Amino acid sequence: MIVHVFGDASQVAKAAASILSAQILRKPDSVLGLATGATPVATYERLVKLHKKGILDFSGVTTFNLDEYVGLPSDHQESYISFMKRHLFDQVNLKASYLPDGNAKDLAAECQRYEELITSTGGIDLQLLGIGSNGHIGFNEPGDNFVFGTNLTDLTQSTIEANKRFFDSADQVPRQAISMGIGTILSAQEILLLAMGKNKAEAVLGMVRGDITPKNPSSILKGHPRVTVLLDEDAASLL
Ligand code: F6R
């Protein structure tokens, strides 16, 4: 795991956008794993700017998002498909982009379909991750074991509390999501994790210096050979 610390969040976004751009320029038919939430927004903004300037062509690029809420209408503005359309999909020329369908009738079958779809493209070249203040990656929440494949998961109270800022109240935050599993994430050739803010510092400490434990799911990333972590000073403050 290589850790870089930057002075502020905008420098993290700049470095992340450079790494993603280099990946696309090096391999125009890249398969990218993407994240939602506040963390990657400024990175996506930079990628969109590069595309609009004619520097970055996404026409060969396929994307798979980490997760989607269960039961939230896809046109709800906080569904992850809406988020991705707003911040990236509608603004660049991607070849294809996929998220799990959180409204599928058979959610277990949907998890399997999504996992197989990722495999059938040849797998993810570069996976972008944020981290929850409880150490979750995707919606792999702290627990007693690691879940391998794409799965239906219950959000923990701490995640519901953290995500209520996107909704009118905590009651409106969906209680379940479909998420890539730990194995799905670890299968990516390369992983890029971004974290900003003091509220991530403890989770980052566990990820970088702690033992591998499902109590902090991000800690498993130490077992992957190509992980780059970009932090601002606040997120790095306990290291
Ligand atoms: C989002 C995701 C989550 C977020 C994490 C951090 O697709 O899978 O793991 O990356 O909850 O969220 P923010 O960036 O809002 O702090």
Ligand 1 atom having least distance to the Cα of 138: 8
70/2 Cα distance (integer angstroms): 34
At 137, list the tokens.
């990656």
Cα torsion angle, 122, 43, 199, 4, sign? positive
Q: Which residues are catalytic?
A: 67, 134, 136, 141
Q: Which among 180, 235, 182 has a CA at the least distance from the CA of 4?
A: 235
Residue 127 has a pLDDT of 98
Q: How far is the CA of 104 from the centre of ligand 1 (A)?
A: 22
The answer for residues whose C-beta is within 8 angstroms of residue 90's C-beta and 6 or more apart is none
Residue 239 has a pLDDT of 97
pLDDT tens digits, 53-73: 999 999 999 999 999 999 999
Among 3-12, 24-33, 83-92, 156-165, which is the least confidently predicted range? 156-165
pLDDT tens digits, 113-133: 999 999 999 999 999 999 999
CB-count burial class (<10 Å; 0-12, 13-18, 19+) for 195: buried
Q: How far is the CA of 129 from the centre of ligand 1 (A)?
A: 7
pLDDT band at 156 (very low <50, low <70, confident <90, very high): very high
Is the minimum distance from the CB of 137 to ligand 1 under 6 angstroms?
yes
pLDDT band at 225 (very low <50, low <70, confident <90, very high): very high
213/76 Cα distance (integer angstroms): 35
Q: Output the DSSP codes for 36-68.
A: -SSTTHHHHHHHHHHHHTTS---TT-EEEESEE
- Residue among 12, 32, 34, 39 to mutate when testing ligand 1 (max atoms within 8 A of CB): 39
Phi, psi angles (nearest 5°) of residue 153: -130, 150
